[in-house]
Structure 1
Amino acid sequence: MMQQAVADYFARFGVPMEVVSFVDRPIGHFIDGRETVATADRIDLVEPFTRSRLTGVVNGTAADVDMAVASARGALAGPWGKMSALDRQKLILRLAAAMETDADVLAHLEAIGVGKAISDARLIDVPGSIANLEYFAGWTSKLDGRTTNAVALPGESFTYTIKEPVGVVAAIVPWNFPLQILSWKLAAALACGCTVVCKPSELTPLSAMRLAHLASKVGFPDGVINVVNGYGHVIGQALASHRGIDKLSFTGSTRVGTSVGKTALETMKRLTLELGGKSPVIVTGKADLDIAASAILVGIFMNSGQVCDAGSRVYADASIHEELLARLRTGAEDMPIGAGLDPNSKITPLVSSAHRSSVLQHIDAAHAEGAVLVTGEGSGGGGREDGILQPTIFDQCSEKMGIFREEIFGPVLGVSRVNTLDDAVERANSSIYGLAAAIYSDSVDETIALSRRLKAGNIYINAHGLVDPTMPFGGLGASGFGKDMGPEQLDGFLSTKSVYVQLNR
């Protein structure tokens, strides 16, 4: 069970007893409408701030995946598959309402699992997840096919298409926004009539398990939403290779996504991969520097930099470079640092000691390669015992350095001076990634022209990291393919059947 350091941490910040009772127990799978434990083997969950054991989660196997897939296929052929679109809509809305009632518990689970700021979990993660379910609930009754007139067939015919659920969906969810990214995949899949087997990160399974319990409570048929816990190389690969899975939606690193994607294609699954990023930020000489500096700091330091579309490399026009850098430094040094459960904290622990060590290696490499430290962690830094790294900014960065090439996934920002917009665009587009890009300028002409030239799936103008259920999210190149959210996501969970009817024969 949880160690005393975690219990003391919870008591210090008044964690509700409902949260404590949910986490202070062995965590199983959620299969066929109930939580189940098929093995005594456990993975320790470590709370990021105290670095102490929180609880244990079942270490799943391929046999557990088989059970979950069988349950999902049974629900698809049974009550869920036979349910009317409007009844599905009502259930999705009931789940959203239950999440709203449970919002404080869900926010605590995100802060406890990821180590993130509970203020962000309350204002961003939980409301965003609910909004996504509410938005896609409305699509359940609007997934129509079409009728058309054949243009090349002899005689008379009647032709039409039917939209049908693709089947059983495997949703592989990362650890940085476990609830919100699960909602991206779950909402669209449910709206289309699919059933789901979710594999959360072994680091952060709590909110997925809570959501599955809520879904069962509000009346979802058994087997519609399943959660299988365990390591990615076991559970993720088993889902990717399983012939009972019709669609795989994966969010995670480019390295793991490439491996999982190759396995999925061996059984010709539908596939969506939302992978890594190294998002460029262009600040022109016409930018409002107050707006730019504030938004850049949010874009890189939100969730302590553990964001796939984080704006991690800034190209600043020479005319404003020094002034922008000064504002970035002041803003970074003023950021409140502390425990995830502290409502005043903005920079909080990284998710694990292993990930923190990885980020520190990137920081050491930036020092060694000649980047100039503006503020934050020095070479060989990271001496704190609470898992936190200071917001770190380097100047005089270049594409020859790892800080401008590699996804660091931590609170580390690189800045470079540019003399022309052409130079900025060329350097921004030099990355293998293409998830997002940001532009700061008060010139409408300048921002529109730049948005057309930048190679990225998401363009932010005078802001960063905006997300809305109506807008598709996904990237290019090494950032993957396919979309989460927006109407564009729906086609990934639907199959189209063409029907020809010959008349007057």
Structure 2
Amino acid sequence: MPDDALAISHQDWTQRAEALALPTRHRIAGADADGSGGTFPVVSPRDGRTLALVADAGEKEVDLAVSAARRAFDTGPWPRLSPEDRGRVLLRIAALIEEHRSELALAITLENGKPITESYDIELRALAYTFRWYGQLADKLTDTAPHAEPGALALVTREPSGVVGAVVPWNFPLTLAAWKVAPALAVGCTVVLKPSELTPLSALLLGRLADEAGLPPGALNVVAGDGPTTGRALGSHPDVDVLAFTGSTAVGRRFLHYAADSNLKRVWLELGGKSPNIILPDAPDLATASATAAWGIFFNQGEMCTAPSRLLVHESVAEEVTAAVVERAGTLRVGDPLDPATEMGALAGAARADSVQEHVRRGTESGARLRAGGMRREVLPGGSYFAPTVFDQVTPDMPLAREEIFGPVLSVLAFGSLDEAVALANDTEYGLAAGLWTSDLSTAHTVARRLRAGSVWVNCYERGDMAVPFGGYKQSGNGRDKSVHAVEKYTELKTTWIQL
């Protein structure tokens, strides 16, 4: 496969999309399965076309999937394989992902609307890397033997928790699935994955590749359906031991209720964000800081929980930075997601575009100044496109500064002192991520410690790799994805005390 999407032409991507065979049935116990709830349409935000009618999972299908995962965990080979053998299977999954990179990327772009360059070059690379990373980690996890009193031996071992329910959103449908599925499988758990009803096709493809790679039947099951029915059935199921969810804070609360009302399963949540990006006058390069601020909010159409949607700029450089971001917003190419030259594709659907438009209307009415965008774009008939949007003269009490918009809308707030900047940054119910631009090493360290966020990027944004954990403070959730810390979510600590 080519190393980047630009090596394939717009015409070729379009032809590949037209020839793409899309799965429409659940994946349960290593086989395709229909749904008792009929089907639901998956509509492409690229052009409003129905891509497929997908089997809709009700309680029956969720129960079948959980039962398959339960059998695979309780009596199947997966938890009983050596860590090295489990790692080999994950590595084969990574290899198959790379082999089918084009099909998976197309499925994501067609169902999600993001540019093919982002699906192919970023999400698929991250997907394969995640499975490879945990495949290589699987046989390197160790237990401990703490020093005990004389005449005794103490052992602390990590054991797989059991059946994991993973519920993931539509904005990075496979990356976020892999962040949960790969570490859970690596430690010997079995998994039921529920993708968003907006983006089930890529996850169903992944489920088939995992089985092809040699996962035993039931080790990974994929069921498609909406949150109120399929998600609730999975979150409430008494045979699910751990629930891992990425999505909105409101839905995260529901999963906590489902757990409380069923078997008190552990619930790990990665939720919303209203991330601040602080630019101080001594930023190493204001042009780079401005360009990164624009890239951060418009990347993936702004549909990211870590999007730096609050740009906090010192009043002495506020207009310079804002003008640069506005200029970039005006030149950014919004276009057909299948065109490798497109820089920003379609929002995830008509409802998402309506929501963003409503936030813009409320922002204007609240007194903020619209500097760029603020309206839909006509790219393809039936598509859901929106112009890159910038507001300034935003105050901390405005909805623009407080509510997660999940779209390409930037709010600029000016500040006068460092303490004011930190107070503004922390003045949110969220705490997922933050950015800081400064040349002063002491400022970088002290401010990073004061920011209540799970990730703080200094003189960059959205950087990192699988070695570092990802997750949030406050109402942005709990627990961590990525890194060795992720396995903590899917394991139980057991103490064995042996009197010698």
Same fold by TM-score, threshold 0.5 exceeded? yes
Report the alpha carbon displacement of residue 17 of structure 1 after superposing the two structures with TM: 4.8
Question: Which residue in 2 is equivalent to 1:353?
Answer: 350
Question: Which residue in 2 is equivalent to 1:102?
Answer: 100
Retained in 1: the 8 A contact 2:62–2:233? yes
**Where do 1:26-65 residues align within 5 Å?**
27-39=24-36, 41-65=38-62
**Where do 1:185-264 residues align within 5 Å?**
185-264=180-259
The more displaced of 369-378 and 405-414 is 369-378
Distance 2:203 2:290 in 1: 35
Report the alpha carbon displacement of residue 390 of structure 1 after superposing the two structures with TM: 0.3
| From 102, 106, 120, the counterpart of 2:118 | 120
The more displaced of 86-95 and 142-151 is 142-151
Distance 1:14 1:489 in 2: 36
Distance 1:138 1:90 in 2: 8
Distance 1:408 1:149 in 2: 52
Deviation digits for residues 344-363 of structure 1 (CA, Å, limit 9, x no counterpart) = 11111111101110111000
Question: Which residue in 2 is equivalent to 1:308?
Answer: 305
Report the alpha carbon displacement of residue 442 of structure 1 after superposing the two structures with TM: 2.3
Q: Secondary structure at 2:225's aligned position in 1? A: coil
Retained in 1: the 8 A contact 2:27–2:222? yes
Deviation digits for residues 131-164 of structure 1 (CA, Å, limit 9, x no counterpart) = 111111122112222112324xxx7211112211
Report the alpha carbon displacement of residue 19 of structure 1 after superposing the two structures with TM: 7.2
Regions of 4+ moved over 3 Å: 10-21, 381-385
| From 88, 91, 109, the counterpart of 2:89 | 91
Report the alpha carbon displacement of residue 14 of structure 1 after superposing the two structures with TM: 3.7
Retained in 2: the 8 A contact 1:295–1:462? no
Retained in 2: the 8 A contact 1:296–1:463? no
Question: Which residue in 1 is equivalent to 2:265?
Answer: 269
Retained in 2: the 8 A contact 1:298–1:464? no
| AA matched with 1:62 | E
Deviation digits for residues 54-77 of structure 1 (CA, Å, limit 9, x no counterpart) = 111111101101100111111112
Question: Which residue in 1 is equivalent to 2:443?
Answer: 446
Report the alpha carbon displacement of residue 462 of structure 1 after superposing the two structures with TM: 1.6
Query: Are 1:500 and 2:458 matched, yes or no?
Result: no
What is the TM-score of this pair, normalised by structure 2?
Answer: 0.94
Q: Secondary structure at 1:132's aligned position in 2? A: helix
Distance 2:10 2:411 in 1: 38
Distance 1:174 1:105 in 2: 20
Q: Secondary structure at 2:143's aligned position in 1? A: coil
Query: Are 1:294 and 2:291 matched, yes or no?
Result: yes
Where structure 2 has 5 or more consecutive residues not aligned to the other structure, the ranges are 1-8
Deviation digits for residues 236-259 of structure 1 (CA, Å, limit 9, x no counterpart) = 111111111010000000001111
Q: Secondary structure at 2:268's aligned position in 1? A: strand
Report the alpha carbon displacement of residue 383 of structure 1 after superposing the two structures with TM: 6.9
Retained in 2: the 8 A contact 1:13–1:341? no
Deviation digits for residues 175-212 of structure 1 (CA, Å, limit 9, x no counterpart) = 00001000100111011111100000000011111111
| AA matched with 1:100 | E
Report the alpha carbon displacement of residue 15 of structure 1 after superposing the two structures with TM: 3.8
Question: Which residue in 2 is equivalent to 1:7?
Answer: none
> Closer, same or farther in 2 for the Cα pair 1:455/1:14, shift >3 Å?
closer
**Where do 1:451-490 residues align within 5 Å?**
451-490=448-487
| From 419, 429, 436, the counterpart of 1:432 | 429
Where structure 1 has 5 or more consecutive residues not aligned to the other structure, the ranges are 1-9
Report the alpha carbon displacement of residue 445 of structure 1 after superposing the two structures with TM: 2.1
Question: Which residue in 2 is equivalent to 1:139?
Answer: 137
What is the TM-score of this pair, normalised by structure 1?
Answer: 0.93
> Closer, same or farther in 2 for the Cα pair 1:264/1:17, shift >3 Å?
same
Question: Which residue in 1 is equivalent to 2:314?
Answer: 317
Distance 1:187 1:36 in 2: 23
The more displaced of 330-339 and 32-41 is 32-41
> Closer, same or farther in 2 for the Cα pair 1:387/1:395, shift >3 Å?
same
Aligned length: 487
Cα root mean square deviation, aligned: 1.7
Report the alpha carbon displacement of residue 39 of structure 1 after superposing the two structures with TM: 2.9
Q: Percent identity?
A: 37
Deviation digits for residues 361-418 of structure 1 (CA, Å, limit 9, x no counterpart) = 000000000000111116xx66775311000000010111100000000000000111
The more displaced of 274-283 and 119-128 is 119-128
Distance 1:91 1:13 in 2: 32
Retained in 1: the 8 A contact 2:114–2:300? yes
Q: Secondary structure at 1:314's aligned position in 2? A: strand
| AA matched with 2:260 | L
Question: Which residue in 2 is equivalent to 1:20?
Answer: 19
Deviation digits for residues 208-231 of structure 1 (CA, Å, limit 9, x no counterpart) = 111111111121111111001111
| AA matched with 1:487 | V
Question: Which residue in 1 is equivalent to 2:274?
Answer: 278
The more displaced of 347-356 and 77-86 is 77-86
**Where do 1:384-463 residues align within 5 Å?**
385=381, 386-463=383-460
Deviation digits for residues 268-300 of structure 1 (CA, Å, limit 9, x no counterpart) = 212210000000111000111111011111211
| AA matched with 1:227 | V
Distance 1:272 1:16 in 2: 41
**Where do 1:320-335 residues align within 5 Å?**
320-335=317-332
Q: Secondary structure at 1:446's aligned position in 2? A: helix
Distance 1:81 1:435 in 2: 33
Retained in 2: the 8 A contact 1:33–1:223? yes
